[in-house]
Amino acid sequence: MKYKIPAILIVVMTIFSGIQASEDRLKLDSLLVIVKNLPEDSCLTQFIDISDLYVELIRSDSAEYYAHKAVVLSERIGQKQAFAYRKLAYAQSKVGKMEESRFMLYKARNIAVQDKDTVELGWIYSQLGTVHLMGQYDSAIFYCLKAQKLKPEEGLLRLNLRTLALAYMRTGNLEKAIKLQQELVDTYEDSITSQAQVNHLNNLAGFYYYAHNLDSAAAIFRKLMQYHDERNQMGKKLLMSTNLASIYYAKGDYAEAVALNKAALDYVNQEGLDKSEFVSCYSNVGINYSRMGRYDLATVYLDSAEYWAKRFLAESSLELCYREKYKMDSVRGDYKSMAMNLKKLMNFTDSVRNAKNDKQIADMQIQYETEKKDQEILNLNQQAELQSLTISQRNTQFGAVVIGLLLLIAVGVTLTQRRSFKLRQEAGAVEQRFLRSQLNPHFIFNSMTAIQQYLLENDAEQAGYFMGTFSTLMRQILENSRREFITLTEEVDMLTNYMELQKMRFQDKFNYHIEIDERLDEDYVGVPPMFAQPFIENSLEHGLFRKGEEINEVTVRFGYISKQLVGLEISDTGIGISDVQNKESHNSLATQITRERLAVMQVAMKDEIGLKSQNIINASGDIGGFRISLTLPTKLITT
- Return the ∠ at Cα 545 (arms to 544 and 546), rounded to 5°: 100
H or E element: which one contains 390?
helix 335-457
pLDDT of residue 434: 41
pLDDT of residue 474: 80
Q: What is the pLDDT of residues 612-629, one digit of tens each?
A: 888 888 888 888 888 999
pLDDT above 90: residue 26 = no
CA–CA dist 15, 201 (Å, integer): 15
Q: Please give the Cα distance from 508 to 191 (Å, whole number).
A: 63
Q: Which strands make up the sheet holding 510-516, listed edge to edge?
A: 510-516, 552-560, 565-572, 623-633, 610-617
pLDDT at position 418 over 60? yes
- The contacts of residue 274 (CB under 8 Å, 6+ apart) are 268
- pLDDT confidence tier of residue 459, bands split at 50, 70 and 90: low
Q: Between these two residues, 335 and 63, which has the higher pLDDT value?
A: 63
Q: Which of 166, 81, 93, 172 is nearest to 128 (CA)?
A: 93
C-alpha 90/C-alpha 159 separation (Å) is 14
**Interatomic CA distance for residues 268 and 274, integer angstroms:** 7
462-477 pLDDT tens trace: 666 677 777 788 888 8
pLDDT of residue 548: 60
Rounded to whole angstroms, how far apart are CA atoms 132 and 597? 38
Which stretch of 80-84, 322-326, 478-482 has the lowest confidence by average pLDDT? 478-482
**pLDDT beyond 50 at 586:** no
Close Cβ partners of 506 (under 8 Å, ≥ 6 residues apart): 540, 545
Residue 79 backbone dihedrals phi, psi, to 5 degrees: -130, 145
- Backbone φ and ψ for 118, nearest 5 degrees, come out as -70, -30
Over 60: is that where the pLDDT of 313 sits? yes
- Determine contact, residues 97/89, Cβ cutoff 8 Å: no
Nearest to 495 by CA among 468, 515, 509, 510: 515
Q: Are strands 510-516 and 552-560 parallel, antiparallel or unpaired?
A: parallel
Q: What is the mean pLDDT of residues 340-363?
A: 63
pLDDT of the residue at 437:
45
Q: Does pLDDT of 374 surpass 70? A: no
313: left (phi over 0), alpha (psi -120 to 50) or beta: left
| For residue 506, pLDDT beyond 50 | yes
Q: How many CB atoms lie within 10 A of CB 277?
A: 19
Distance, CA of 446 to CA of 494 (rounded, Å): 16
Residue 567's pLDDT is what? 93
pLDDT higher at 318 or 415? 318
Confidence band, pLDDT 50/70/90 cuts, at residue 179: very high
pLDDT on residue 8: 38
- Higher-pLDDT residue of 455 and 92 is 92
Q: Which pLDDT does position 67 carry in this prediction? A: 83
Does the pLDDT at position 430 exceed 60?
no
Contact between 514 and 535 under an 8 Å Cβ cutoff? The reply is: no
Model pLDDT, residue 1: 41
Residues 255, 259: Cα–Cα separation, whole Å: 6
Average pLDDT in the chain = 77
- Binned at pLDDT 50, 70 and 90, residue 403 comes out as low
> Is residue 80 within 8 Å of 44, Cβ to Cβ?
yes
Give me the pLDDT at residue 30, please: 75
Considering only residues 446 and 544, tell me which one the structure prediction assigns the higher pLDDT: 544
pLDDT band with cut points at 50, 70 and 90 for residue 566: very high
Q: How many CB atoms lie within 10 A of CB 540?
A: 23
**Over residues 513-529, mean pLDDT:** 89
Number of residues that this document lists for the chain: 639
Rounded-to-integer distance, Cα 491 and Cα 536, Å: 14
Q: How many CA atoms lie within 13 A of 101 on its CB side?
A: 22
Determine the pLDDT at residue 568: 93
Q: Is there a contact between 95 and 60 (Cβ–Cβ < 8 Å)?
A: yes
Contact status, residue 429 vs residue 471, Cβ threshold 8 Å: no
Does the predicted model carry a pTM greater than 0.75? Answer: no
pLDDT for 31: 74
pLDDT for the residue numbered 371: 59
